[in-house]
Amino acid sequence: MNKPLKIKPPYIAFSLLFLSWLADYLLQQFRFIYSPYNKAGIVIIILGLSLTFSAFYFFKKNKTPIIPGQKPTFVVAEGPYKFTRNPMYLGVTIALLGAAIFFGNALSFLSPLIFFLIMNYYFVPFEENLMKNLFGKKYLNYKKRVGRWI
């Protein structure tokens, strides 16, 4: 993996969120979670976004770029980075899962899965390689201690 995708993860996430909504709007016959049970999705969305924004905070605190593909300046290993190397992507995946539950449509559950797969097999390997090249042993030691997702 030499180059990151030109489209950035937030755009991928918002596109998938829109497609989840569209699937529910156009294909209501696939809905299987109804009110009030679908409201649990709101809690899950909030949890996912909280994880994502707390990860943003630690990037800002350590003055390293948030945008994928930009050169990191620091190995962040505090806050949510103590238990996952990718809390932003994990948080967005969780938020998309919450949205799927909220929409209650079986097709909406494809969005968190697709996002996870794109991040896991394209963005994360690129970023891990970049971190290894920039920070060497420091990053490799961190990688041994903390799992990619959990």
Kindly report, residue by residue over 5-38, the tens digit of the pLDDT. 688 999 999 999 999 999 999 999 999 999 999 9
Domain count across the chain: 1
Q: Measured at the alpha carbon of residue 30, what is the angle toward residues 24 and 36, in degrees to the nearest 5?
A: 70
Q: How far is CA 26 from CA 21, 37, 71, 112, 119, in A?
A: 9, 21, 41, 19, 27
Whole-angstrom distance, CA of residue 17 vs CA of residue 20 = 5
CB-based contacts of 5: which residues, under 8 Å, 6+ apart? Answer: 122, 123
Inside any domain, residue 134: yes
Inside any domain, residue 8: no
Inside any domain, residue 4: no
Domain of 93 in residue numbering reads as: 16-23+31-145
Inside any domain, residue 75: yes
Inside any domain, residue 2: no
What pTM was estimated for this model as a whole? 0.94
Inside any domain, residue 118: yes
Inside any domain, residue 57: yes
Inside any domain, residue 7: no
